[in-house]
A and B are shown apart, each in its own frame.
Chain A
Amino acid sequence: MKNVNEIRADFPLINEKTVYFDNAATTQRPAAVTAAIKEFYDNYNANPLRGLYDLSSLATEMYGKARAACAAFINAKCAREIIFTRNTTESINLAAYSLGELLINEGDNIVISVSEHHSNLLPWQRVAKQKKANLVFMEPDMTGLLSLDEIKSKIDLKTKIVSIGHVSNVWGRTNPIKEIVEAAHKVGAVVVVDGAQAAPHMKVDVRELDVDLYAFSGHKMLGPMGIGCLYGKLDLLDKMPPFLMGGEMIEYVTRTDATFAEIPHKFEAGTVNAADAYALNTAIGYINEIGFDYIENHEKQLTARVMEGLSKNPYVTVYGSPDPEEHCGIVTFNLEGVHPHDLASVLNDDGICIRAGHHCAQPLMQFMGVGSTARLSLYLYNTDEEVDFFLEKLSKVRNLMGYGS
């Protein structure tokens, strides 16, 4: 079992010069993952899935192994339930386009929550506009908690699709997925889950959650940018029409029509991103080696340290639950009188990387009544010392910005 210093040594960009606290945006990668990208191109490169020669078969085999690793990572029933995409955004666009075609008619309801990242809002806005359907918003309380009453009052017989973030990228709060799935399935609706902020931080079991579709990104869990997944239950994926059209996703094509390939290939038009899928397999191996017990404990302990430190600063407002256990490593806050962009610029001067702005969740910012916020997000390589360094530098920002203290 590696300790935090041994873990840090695996990451070229994690060092004493940089305090990287923007893991909810993208994580750093261990050297093994970047090496894997090269390894694929140097050893297995050919266009997978179509070649009739050994090298292409080898590329196909590596790509298939990556799919199986992703399936095991979220406990899918089989590898065919995993569709490779570019990222969570593309996964949800696929889901929205395809389910919109399959399920939505005029007057139907699509239920999401007000906390959604834009990538789980805009695709549904488009479906709702095109089909003259209604977009219905579940609203949490100001600790980010979605109550059972709220869930039951918004999911009704008009609901055809519920799409919900597993963990909010602003509150850091884990939504009650099982309760939402139960309410949705009771009325025959399909549930899509945006797992971008959950899959890197907790053991996800899609069968236990009983979700119909589940999306996540490789780059937020030590993998390369440009590879993500959409999990779907086999029978649903079978019924769903394809999203992108083109090569690799067909069986027979005539001048006017086509029949489509089996899943998952039906949803993977064009040459696939096999090298990044291969490296994502390496990233999953790394996470499995460290284990979610370590990751969860480590993040909780650091989050508690951050929140305890922030609570001693009278000018800081922390958003979401007061309980560090309900943050999934994400702490969103404001420093009175200092715009988050100025705060991020000042902290950058000391090598501290935090996110500032609306976090791609403008309706949530409006709901919270704030223009923008600062966000610190943690991962397995962050340390107590980094948290203390951040807290010390933060305590000096108001003074620097011209306030008395």
Chain B
Amino acid sequence: MDLKNLYREIVNDHNLNPQHKGEMTDPDMELRGVNPSCGDDIFLQLKFDGDKISDAMFKGSGCAISQASVDMMIDNIIGLSKDEALKQSALFHSMINGEVTDEEELEELDEAYYLKDVCHMPARVKCALLGWRTLKEMLG
């Protein structure tokens, strides 16, 4: 997908109308994630039911790719166990770093899969990874 279609079809929706943006009053875990060089800044909160992520929210500011990527990530990880979420974060990292390209293997990333082409835009890699990197730090 070229860049313009990526924005048009996927990123804009999550950036302008994020489903998971806001703040919880009683999170079990929270962590700030920052890309200091470009100013992308998020605050990620997780709520657990036993080992399962029962809810997640974020707030923050930054470029559309960084914000949309977090929103998509939260779509995916609600309902997953810690290990499953970590595994998915590792898969997303591998995709963005261009290490995994097999479509079938990447299927579980759902909509986040469409950020695959960011691996061809070195300057934007860290934007796409911000949420996933923060998640990995929290759970890892």
Contacts and interface: CB of A to CB of B under 8 A. Distances in A.
B64 A358 contact: no
B3 A372 contact: no
Interface string B51-69: 0000000000111110000
Nearest to A338: B64
A32 interface: no
A402 interface: yes
A342 B61 contact: no
Given A357-B39, A371-B39, A372-B38, A400 B16 contact: no
B2 A341 contact: no
Interface in B63-85: 63-65
B38 A341 contact: yes
Nearest to A357: B38
A402 B15 contact: yes
A349 interface: yes
Interface string B1-21: 011100110001101100000
Contacts of B121: 345
A402 B4 contact: no
A341 B63 contact: yes
A346 interface: yes
Contact of B3 (A346, A358, A402): A346
B39 A358 contact: yes
A341 B127 contact: yes
Interface string A392-405: 00000000111100
A339 B63 contact: yes
Interface residues of B, number: 21
Contact of B65 (A340, A342, A348, A358): A342
A372 B37 CA distance: 10
A342 B7 contact: yes
A345 B2 CA distance: 11
Contacts of B62: 339
* Most chain B beta-carbon neighbours within 10 Å: one of A341, A357, A401, A402: A341
A374 to B, nearest CB: 12
A168 to B, nearest CB: 20
B124 A345 contact: yes
Given A345-B124, A372-B39, A401 B64 contact: yes
Nearest to A399: B8
B97 to A, nearest CB: 19
Contacts of A400: 4, 7-8
Interface of A: 338-342, 345-346, 348-349, 357-358, 371-372, 400-403
Given A339-B62, A342-B64, A402-B13, 15 more contacts: A339-B63, A340-B63, A341-B38, A341-B63, A342-B7, A346-B3, A349-B3, A357-B38, A358-B38, A371-B61, A372-B39, A402-B7, A402-B8, A402-B15, A402-B16
